Structure 1
Amino acid sequence: MQFSLPTGLDIHFIHAKPANLPAGRTAIPIIMVHGWPGSFYEFYKIIPLLTDPASHGLDDRHIFQVICPSIPGYGFSGASHKIGCDSFAVARMFYKLMQRLGFKEFYAQGGDWGSRICTNLAQIAPTQVKGLHVNMVPALQIRPSVVLSLMFGRQFPGLFGLEEEDVRRMFPFFKKVFFHLMKESGYMHLQSTKPDTAGCGLNNSPVGLASYILEKFSTWTDPDFRDHEDGGLERKFFLDDLLTNVMIYWVTGSVVSSMRFYKENIGKGIGTAKHEKLPVTVPTGIASFPQELLHCPLSWAKLKYLDIVSFNHMPRGGHFAAFEEPEILAKDIQQFVSKVELK
């Protein structure tokens, strides 16, 4: 489906409704937003778990209707031709989409860029967003308490509100955080400064595009896959699913515009946007997956999200949670919504 903005920009989205909604039940609307180098296709496996949980052996206290838009410049959504199409601007577009669909209240869920867009959505419309659920906490402002916890948290975890799992994931800091990010963040520096340079080359080589994207699905799913000859891709995904995601970029020629999203958001530096200094007041749930690129302890998340009602360490999984571990993520969304609905 397509939603046209007054500016002429077309937003592609899918709207999945329950096929057989029991009498007297209402399907709860939830918008789910992807990131890079993903697409709306990431949610194809989790959608039936949310729209028809009983048929998949899950708790059906809450049945959802799922809206999955494509970020402008990604896949079948049009790309902005003006500077300023950052996460906050996209959040405004998606809010208009939800209004157009007739939703006065709804939930928002995302990972990667989707977590930042949904966070902005909660900041824009705190009375309409009933709850925010993320499986990746967007980059936080570097505050003295965060710096001190990195310096002394291993020796005095309780003093900085760190749990045993936080210590396990974060320390020793240089090995588990600093050097890991150095190995995995080269793409971000390139796309934040010169996205067209690499993007135009990828747009003209299907093999180059596939290798650039699939490498992320390897090491962001599990950093140990870096040492596997085949990248470990088939340990978590089907090749058909991975290539479907690649083909969405290829047939639409959207890799360049998708990479520009980095320059729009962090080209001027991390933490410089006004919205990054604003708190989030809506009820928030965080699913912390063990192989996520950067771990965020609950004590850090509380600096940004003021009403965290659910923070759970997931048993397994990495960056592409909905694509990789749809059942685990669906269960966490269900329990989060249950807590919010009881408030």
Structure 2
Amino acid sequence: MGKKDKKKENDSAKVSKKKEVRKEQRKDKGVNIVSAIPFLILVGLSMLAYRVYDDLTHIPATPELDFNRNWGPNASEPKDTSIRPYRIVFSDAMEGELRWLFEVYRRTLKKKSFEDTAWTYGVHTDAFAKIFSHWVFKYSFRDRERYFNKFEQFKTNVQGLDIHYVHVKPKVDKNVMVVPLLLLHSWPGSVLEFYEAIPLLTAARPGYNFVFEVIVPSLPGFGFSQGAVRPGLSPNQIAVIMRNLMQRLGHKYYYVEGNGIGHNVGADLATIFPNEVLGFHSSSPVVPTNRAYLTWILGALWPTFVANGDADKLYPLGDKIKFYLEESGYLHLQATKPDTIGIALQDSPVGLASYILDRMMIMTDPANKFDPDGGLDKYFSYDKLLDNIMMYYVSGSITTSLRFFKENFDDYEVENAFARIPTPVPTWGLRLKNAFSYSPDFVLRWKYPNLVGTTSYDFGGQFIAFERPKEFVEDVFKAVKAFLELKK
């Protein structure tokens, strides 16, 4: 063997030896990672256990809030805090732009939805075609503009933001007591959710010696209420704005009804101002704390003990978790990238309609996804569905409305603290068959020790006032009557 061959053999041996060393290093590293998994699991469980222990043993102090924090532009400049009449306008230019965009969509080659999938892949093209056709040929912009303005509306500047609200005072005899009621809408709802309920709330009815003076604000960033110009407007901060709005209108004491995200704001409102909120009626009565979640998980061992006759609303646990994972994608998107999706939705009225209708479908009744038409025509007229979409499109508020979810997510620690602080405000829960979330009475009492009562309907979803206004109003009257009797 020559010197060159011998050198080549030595070099080859060295390379092989290096490869073996690297292989052993990778093997050792793999062993180290595998051995670390139990430790990481232990750390995760310890953190969860600590959070649950903290929930069980510690009531956090009420976070300090600035009740006059400015959320608008030019914070140093004085604001006009007068109350100004307001009217929603469907301009000819807006209608012309919409019809041009409708024509662009109509002429576009569209991908058809799969056959026999209903809405399991999202909005079905055939079902959407029916709603779109109604929008183009039967939706009367002039008539719907009149409907939008059927009640007196106003704007006033609160903490730097122009807040839009509907305000209806009842016309009743002097012997009938008038009590103020603040109605807080959901997402993707709007003040329109309550339009059919307002006349019922402001009219005297047998068996009750009171009626309501109704205030229905568009939450900041929704509809025609101005959105914040800087981050941080989380539910507790919106609660402060709502309280200051009621003070502006001369109501130091009032009742609150909240639904969906309106529940989040209403719950914070009752917690921050327990001496001002006379009673809290929730159409989404849930307690979103670690303690409540752990009770739900452990309750799978004995469902009827946890939920009594409503075990089907919480269990089987695996089915519920699968459903939440499947239907909560929009929450993750809106809680992380609201402006990204907002730009796309505001640019296309058809895209905006599709996105909102999909959420309306599933939040009204999850079984709708197996209906080829999405089931929506069983609950709402096409005009009502399109009105709600128009509220977002005409006001250009979809992006600022989506930011609510990111602000809520980013302010998790403060929101979690408010969720754990018991409020003495008299509370009533309206449970609905198709609600996404459910908290048993004993869990509700952790947050609302003065839980006066609950009602369970074998129908209804998140938009109960929009879907079944008569039944919604009946429960509000029943709840406030119970609140008033507590004072006797």
Which of 156, 160, 163 aligns to 2:308? It is 163
Contact 1:290 1:316 in 2 (8 A): yes
- Structure 1-normalised TM-score? 0.92
Which of 20, 34, 49 aligns to 2:185? It is 34
Q: Residue type of the partner of 1:157?
A: T
- CA shift, 1:148, in A, is 4.2
Distance, in Å, in 2 between the alignment partners of 1:324 and 1:202 is: 25
- CA shift, 1:269, in A, is 4.7
Q: Residue type of the partner of 2:325?
A: M
Which of 238, 258, 265 aligns to 1:117? It is 265
Over aligned residues, Cα RMSD in angstroms? Answer: 1.7
Structure 2, gaps ≥5 residues long = 1-153
Q: Which residue of 2 aligns with 1:188?
A: 331
Distance, in Å, in 2 between the alignment partners of 1:271 and 1:150 is: 24
Q: Which residue of 2 aligns with 1:86?
A: 234
Contact 1:132 1:282 in 2 (8 A): yes
Contact 1:107 1:131 in 2 (8 A): yes
Q: Which residue of 1 aligns with 2:364?
A: 221
Q: Which residue of 1 aligns with 2:216?
A: 68
Distance, in Å, in 1 between the alignment partners of 2:234 and 2:437 is: 22
Identical aligned residues as a percent: 35
Distance, in Å, in 1 between the alignment partners of 2:360 and 2:476 is: 23
Which of 296, 315, 318 aligns to 1:174? It is 318
Contact 1:129 1:282 in 2 (8 A): yes
Q: Residue type of the partner of 1:2?
A: K
Pairing 1:101–2:246 present: no
Distance, in Å, in 2 between the alignment partners of 1:112 and 1:42 is: 12
Contact 1:110 1:135 in 2 (8 A): yes
- CA shift, 1:276, in A, is 2.7
Shift of the 271–41 alpha-carbon distance from structure 1 to 2, 3 Å rule, reads: same
Pairing 1:276–2:428 present: no
Q: Which residue of 1 aligns with 2:197?
A: 46
Structure 1, gaps ≥5 residues long = none
The alignment partner of 1:340 has SS state of: helix
- CA shift, 1:157, in A, is 3.0
Contact 1:193 1:267 in 2 (8 A): no
Contact 1:141 1:271 in 2 (8 A): no
Distance, in Å, in 2 between the alignment partners of 1:17 and 1:59 is: 20
Q: Which residue of 1 aligns with 2:163?
A: 11
Distance, in Å, in 1 between the alignment partners of 2:316 and 2:303 is: 14
- CA shift, 1:281, in A, is 1.4
The alignment partner of 1:302 has SS state of: helix
Shift of the 163–254 alpha-carbon distance from structure 1 to 2, 3 Å rule, reads: same
Shift of the 266–59 alpha-carbon distance from structure 1 to 2, 3 Å rule, reads: farther
Aligned residues, how many? 333
Contact 2:223 2:392 in 1 (8 A): yes
Q: Residue type of the partner of 2:281?
A: H
The residue correspondences of 1:173-322 to structure 2 (distance < 5 A) are: 173-175=317-319, 177-267=320-410, 269=412, 273-322=416-465
Contact 1:52 1:60 in 2 (8 A): no
- CA shift, 1:79, in A, is 0.6
Q: Which has the greater radius of gyration?
A: 2
- Greater shift after overlay, 201-210 or 313-322? 313-322
Contact 2:346 2:399 in 1 (8 A): yes
Q: Which residue of 2 aligns with 1:328?
A: 471
Task: Kindly provide the CA deviation profile for residues 133-157 of structure 1, in whole angstroms up to 9, marking residues without a partner as x.
Answer: 00103551111x6524433455363
Distance, in Å, in 2 between the alignment partners of 1:62 and 1:182 is: 44
Distance, in Å, in 2 between the alignment partners of 1:42 and 1:321 is: 8
Shift of the 9–268 alpha-carbon distance from structure 1 to 2, 3 Å rule, reads: closer
Distance, in Å, in 2 between the alignment partners of 1:268 and 1:288 is: 27
- CA shift, 1:273, in A, is 4.2
Say which structure is richer in helix: 2
- CA shift, 1:274, in A, is 3.1
